[in-house]
Structure 1
Amino acid sequence: MEKRRIAVVGFGHVGCGAVEALEVAPDLELAGVVLQDEGEIRRACCSLGSVPVVRHLAELEKVDAALLAVPSRCVPKLAPPILETGVATVDCYDIHGDPLMTLRATLDPIAREHGTAAVISAGWDPGTDSVVRTLLEALVPRGITYTNFGPGMSMGHTVVIKGFEGVEDALSLTIPKGCGLHKRYVYLKTRPGTDFDALVARISQDPYFAHDEVHFFPCEDVQALVDTGHAVHLERRGSAGKTHNQKVDFLMSVTNPAATGQVLVSAARAVLRQRPGAYTLPEIPPVDFLPGDRESLLHRLI
């Protein structure tokens, strides 16, 4: 069986996780890593040995799909030109609601026009948790689903904070309060001369934080606090048919970058099995995420 060739764009926590998942995938292979920053290029070259590390996707030989392991706010600009070359894209865009649906609506006609496909928000939330929420609602059609994150490090929120002027290092932790409510603990190491209170005010207005209860703490050694573990507890309570008091739970505890990287790689397999267009994870048959032929997989899983 010829392995499909997958490029990884970005080599942060999630990019590293995706590379590791590709290294053990039986049907996929790493075509190379795409980076712009010179320091990141040197670090990747040291880590990856003979794996090509390039500045542009076009420098790699035959790429079937590109995994966009980049900050979410970079995806809307980065994905379209890749799709226009006929290469499929998979991203881990993590902004829920209207921005996610706008991205899907933007990429769908581009992918269709160029005969390829895109999978968006292929992380674990949004992503695999979205699939679980769909199944929970199928089991319990009337009711409420509570999504409880953490406690753990939010990579997306941490990346956003690090982009603020005056921040030298940062960590954002998600703390569950129960019934879908959360608070965030943000640890900040600021650059000399930075007004801490003014910085906090700016961060608090960012859409990533504006709707949450957030507590900020000055910190001289953020790295001493970093643990990339995370968790989620999904609860669905309601009725099935005319029967009330139905309750279904899903609990997951993971190393965040490894989980996200693995979902990206599984979605890379799935995107190559879809018709042209843009998809979220709940729209894709679950069997398409797994290696092997469909009949054998169904025989084993059913």
Structure 2
Amino acid sequence: IISAGWDPGSDSVVRTLLQAIAPKGLSYTNFGPGMSMGHTVAVKAIDGVKAALSMTIPTGTGIHRRMVYIELEDGYDFDKVATAIKTDAYFVNDETHVIQVPCVDELKDMGHGVNMTRKGVSGKTQNQLFEFNMRINNPALTGQVLVCAARASMRQLPGCYTMIEIPMIDLLNGDREDLIAHLV
């Protein structure tokens, strides 16, 4: 199962459900505020960065601001490192602010979140509005989704799948009939 984390992954499943119940409309995924593991790793790979934290700040309608906090390696120019971060492919499409700090570890919080909204039409009924919110510990939730995906992969025919192609019940631990009796 590919793209199995919380996004892409479990958020993809929620977006799919929202689009299924309002086929016409607009969806927005707003991440944060919180630590982006992927963006933080990307910053750490840039020459001159000793330690980093990249925070995702939602500005609405699926647009995000990146607040990047870095400790510099000795001998590196902050402005050059900041420019390298802002022009990196991972950051170039977002408003990005780079701030030098004495100690990144004093800022770290593994919390993150997401707000997904869909405004659309169900059948002929206009003005349907759906909203889904999560506040999470990023690594813990990512790990749990990977466990669910691993479980579900054992219940599929050989092949490659995304989370939205997997029957929801296959993600769950337990007896199928008991799960149906409890959840339906």
Which TM class, normalised by the smaller chain length?
A: over 0.9
CA offsets 1:55-96 (integer angstroms, 9 cap, x no match) = xxxxxxxxxxxxxxxxxxxxxxxxxxxxxxxxxxxxxxxxxx
Query: Of residues 162, 180, 202 in structure 1, which corresponds to 2:44?
Result: 162
Which runs of structure 1 show a deviation greater than 3 angstroms over 4 or more consecutive aligned residues?
none
TM-score (norm 2): 0.97
Q: Which structure is higher in RCO with an 8 Å CA cutoff and minimum separation 6?
A: 2
Paired AA for residue 169 in structure 1: A
Deviation at 1:294, TM superposition (A): 2.0
Paired AA for residue 152 in structure 2: A
Query: Of residues 135, 144, 152 in structure 2, which corresponds to 1:262?
Result: 144
1:227 pairs with 2:114: no
- Counterpart for residue 190 of structure 1: 72
**Amino-acid identity (%):** 57
Deviates more, 1:161-170 or 1:202-211: 202-211
- Counterpart for residue 6 of structure 1: none
Gaps of 5+ in 2: none
- Counterpart for residue 128 of structure 1: 10
Query: Of residues 88, 95, 100 in structure 2, which corresponds to 1:218?
Result: 100
Deviation at 1:178, TM superposition (A): 1.1
- What is the alpha-carbon root mean square deviation over aligned residues? 0.9
Provide the C-alpha distance between the structure 2 equivalents of 1:159 and 1:204, rounded to a whole number of angstroms. Answer: 14
Paired AA for residue 143 in structure 1: G
TM-score (norm 1): 0.60
Normalized per residue, the structure richer in helix is 1
Provide the C-alpha distance between the structure 2 equivalents of 1:200 and 1:279, rounded to a whole number of angstroms. Answer: 38
Deviation at 1:199, TM superposition (A): 1.4
Deviation at 1:215, TM superposition (A): 0.5
1:199 pairs with 2:118: no
* Equivalent residue pairs, number: 184
CA offsets 1:195-236 (integer angstroms, 9 cap, x no match) = 211112222222211110000101111100001001100000
- Counterpart for residue 55 of structure 2: 173
Provide the C-alpha distance between the structure 1 equivalents of 2:13 and 2:97, rounded to a whole number of angstroms. Answer: 31
Provide the C-alpha distance between the structure 2 equivalents of 1:134 and 1:223, rounded to a whole number of angstroms. Answer: 37
1:153 pairs with 2:43: no
3-state SS in 2 of match to 1:277: coil
Deviation at 1:300, TM superposition (A): 1.8
Query: Of residues 124, 134, 153 in structure 2, which corresponds to 1:271?
Result: 153
3-state SS in 2 of match to 1:278: coil
Gaps of 5+ in 1: 1-118
Provide the C-alpha distance between the structure 2 equivalents of 1:204 and 1:216, rounded to a whole number of angstroms. Answer: 8
